[in-house]
Structure 1
Amino acid sequence: METWDSNLPTKTSEEQSQHALASRHNTNNNNLRACHSCHISKVRCNQPIPGMPCLRCQKACKPCFLVEKPQKNRQEVNGRILELQSKIDKMISAAVKQEATDNRTRNTESFPAGPTDLTPISHIPGQHGWGSSVGNTPPILSNVGSGVVDLKTSIQSVLDKSITPYLDNATTEIIFKRYITNMAPTFPAVVFPPGTTAADVRKDNPILLLAILDVASSGFCELEIQRRLRKLVVQTYVHCMLRSDQYTLGLLQALIVSATWYRSIEPLEPGEQMDIYQIGHTAANMALIMGLGDKLNNKNRSSALPGEGQTDRRQAEFLGARRVWLGCHYICSKWVIGVDVY
């Protein structure tokens, strides 16, 4: 009896300690927040080991990260939005002063721009964050005039100075071929005639080539070159957004390519931030300002469709415009369906 009585408290204390550990583990599990994927799908997030990916993300081979609580950072985000608005307003005022002092004749392509004054970005819903890390107009494009030819020449010059020394012509052709053979057939919003080379696109539409190199260069060049391409793309888009006279079909094609095949570069550095949703909205807004839909939907198709006496270039531009217009519609529709409304 003495041996049984002496062992009884020891057994009871062990059971109590195990019960306390189990209750503490259950409490920690209850306090864990769901990961982003489970939160979007509105399913239970099962994390057997805290700090490790949940079972659902492990099975789907997805990155598993917790959802941030929006209530805590709301004031900080609002302050950041106001700061970005002030920066964008300064960019717009600088662009207006530059256009007011520029007396050159504005060049237009086959699809002329609509209104000459672009709606201020700070007054467009959802256009507060894109290009915020870039700041003012980049130095490489600050001296560019309002004409399309000046922009094309400037981008070609920047490619020669900043990209070509690190990315030779052979590698550029390989990256361009990857887009033609592997990426464009999946979503043929921007295609090229057979036999087109990267040198041809660089001569006619350097902005489009820059966007293609940005989305298709992964694995073909060093990470530093990819960062150079991304920063140059972001700077070019910010520059063109403020100048409606530089809205061209080639710029629209570049925006569609960037929006369709966007890839993140980790870790993100200043000047590389690209809001993919804003790019799609910018492309759609740009197409409307250019009057692209009105031209394509014109009842008098005899003036829009290429005839026997019109050149192949005119026909290619018309078909390219139709693809871009459908691409804008597809991207905007896809994102509207995919965005959750809380």
Structure 2
Amino acid sequence: MASTDSAAAESGESPQDDTYAAPYGRSCFNCSQAKCKCIYLKAGGKCQRCQRLDKECRQPATTRRSTTRRSAISKSTSKTNRLENKIEDLVSLLRAGVHPGNVSTTLLRQLAQLPENQKSTDSNAASPPGHSEISVSSSGPSSVYTRRTNGAESTPEASLSDGGGSLSTGAAAEHETEPTGVQAEEYFTVFLTQMLPYFPCMYVPPGTTAQKLRRDRPFSWLCIMAIASKSSAQRRLLFDRIKQVVAQRLVHEYSCRELDMLQGILLYLGWSNQQVYNKANIYVFAQLAMGIVYEMGLFNPEAKGKHMLLCVHQEPLENCTAPRGQVMEERRAVLGCFLLTSTIATFLQQSDSLRWTPHLDDCLRLLEEQQECVNDGILLQQVRLQLVTDRLGLGRCYGGSAKFAESMQPSPSVYLRPMQTQLQSRLQEIMSRLGSHSKGYKIVLLHHYNTSLSLYESALPKGAIASTLNVTYEHLDYLYGCLDSTKSWFDVFLSIPPGEYIGFPFAVFAQMVQNLATLFQLSTLESPLWDTANVRRTADILQILDTIVSNMNLVATINGLAGDPGADIFSNIAQTYHAVRVGWETRLKPDPIGSSAVDPVPSILNQTLPEILATSSDVLPGIGDHDWLTDMLNTMGQNENG
């Protein structure tokens, strides 16, 4: 090397005159690996670095092609030549060893660009993406959810990384767990026919396919696939992907003003019973849903944008003239958010619901005047009924004690009869529009009887049957009202075939727990004025539990749910209720008349979960990971004791 330099010096030439840098994509393998500039001698031979290190200088197996700018393409290039270039790009992808799971997706993306290229004479075939751009990475947040850029076409065949996040941490797993086109349409049909009527928080126009929904509302599509999937493994991965997408979009990207995100979270939360979840998950997603409502200004449009006065970074001005269809969807979403958060707050009593505002009254009125489908009427009735329940529990839901809530309410003789009359008139109004065998008819009846139960319970001391230690003649009317409402609720619930249970949202399961606990308390309330034998003749709680357990065990088989036995939520509910029945049967045996006090829940539910597992390991296999239902019953008992 030194002799070469001296020879160049003697000839009066600079060493740089005898060398040249390797063009783009032509660096030798060693320089490319070291990311060093590859310098060749004009005389030929090894590059300077390989010669200095005494290494073999060889070219890489494949070369990178520089992107040709559109301006360099001659306008006279024929469409045929551009099509041939595109095919060559696709062939190079196959030769480069791209993972099979991503080849089909990439090919479809490349082919989808062909019509766009043909629209303009000066367009150019895009360079094939590198391997790092094609494969889905799971190491960083960017792999969670990739947004579509403005103006980019979204193809139905695009992977979930373009519309709802990849389905797994690896390309192979993604290919295996992503719903196929046939599966997606099947899940979408199940959602529309068996699930949406129970919680109609969104409107799907007639003729909409899963493919179109994926293109228009990718996150909602992902959530629908998750809650309607029949595979436990697939459903688990989809739910995990939803959580990653939410973290990416709402936290990292601050995309808190998208209706698609709000609707998707409502769907995920509304049917969160389809996964075996913990309560913290409910609270977190409920708060996220309310946060989006606040950010979008849906609960009070007059306050929209005022919070930005305190921010240094100003958001761009938004188009205030939204299409009518979007405005109607926003109304359904905000009403659905109130319905869901109020149900969670009323049942679990550890969080607040979305605050009701005059604007929500307007949304309720305008949606009633401009109904687009039968589901709108169902949503309206559900919201009205839940609003009654929400106001009855106002004191507790906003951090007040039961004594404070009781002091806020007028005498039951003042409000009970008028409100019952009003509920009955509204029920008859909506029932006249629904078929007696439709899902909407039954879900409205379930909400009606559950609201009626809450209304009668509010008239009792501290708003709970367990607090009624000294039953008076005035209390009898309210107690029989509770019994009639609970019996009517179970009459409707047990009239629903087990095959339709798969569509039940969280609200139905919450109501079922509440009505079971109420019926147990009525069956064990000891008072000279209260006939427990008559209660058991009217509604035999043990027989009801047997029927529920039997029906829950049939759901997986009827609907073809795939996965390990007992991996679905319905089998877990059956196992839990079977254990509950054991405790209740012991408690309901005839006992000598003693104390007038009654336990709000049986002893088996007052135990901690490890104690239940220790005493009932044969009865509750695997329930240690699925304790949410027992925890709900324990929570209800603790709240009523306090």
Normalised to the residue count of structure 2, the TM-score between the two structures is 0.26
- Higher RCO by CA contacts (8 Å cutoff, separation 6 or greater): 1
**TM-score, L = length of structure 1:** 0.47
